[in-house]
């Protein structure tokens, strides 16, 4: 069975932990979770590990989510979801223009995030 990878990029430890708890049910399906604490680390991991799915925060140190998204999407064909507290329509448009496939607002529904990840990874 091929291991599928999900990369979680967020500078907030509690959000990374919540997403880890939310998505750990996919472990049984051979999904590996990867974590990065800022945009630079996220970009490097995305290019090194080629995850199928990335959850990416926008407001982060070193490299913001919009810039990380743009660079990741130029170099990979992963499915990228911006997961952010920036809830304005203009923010959503900016995210989609940067190449994001979807835009989910915080606070998010863990069940919806899990269902979305399973759908994208075809699990």
Q: How many Cα atoms sit within 13 Å of 20 on the Cβ side?
A: 12
pTM recorded for the entire structure: 0.96
Average pLDDT over all residues of the chain: 95
pLDDT of residue 87: 84
Q: What is the CATH number of the domain that holds 115?
A: 3.40.50.2300
| Containing structural domain, residue 82 | 4-120
At 55, list the tokens.
């959850």
**Order of all β-strands in the sheet with 53-56:** 31-36, 4-9, 53-56, 79-84, 102-105
Find the angle CA(121)-CA(118)-CA(39) to the nearest 5 degrees.
Answer: 70
pLDDT of residue 1: 56
């Amino acid at each position: 069975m091929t291991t599928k990878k999900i990369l979680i990029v967020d500078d907030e430890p509690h959000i990374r932990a919540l997403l880890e708890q939310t998505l750990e049910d996919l472990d049984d399906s051979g999904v590996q979770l990867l974590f990065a604490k800022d945009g630079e680390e996220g970009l490097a991991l995305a290019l090194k590990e080629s995850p199928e799915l990335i959850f990416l925060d926008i407001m982060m140190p070193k490299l913001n989510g919009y810039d990380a998204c743009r660079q990741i999407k130029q170099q990979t064909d992963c499915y990228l979801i911006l997961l952010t507290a920036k809830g304005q329509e203009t923010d959503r448009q900016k995210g989609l223009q940067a190449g994001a496939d979807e835009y989910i607002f915080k606070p998010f529904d863990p069940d919806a995030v899990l269902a979305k990840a399973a759908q994208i990874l075809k699990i």
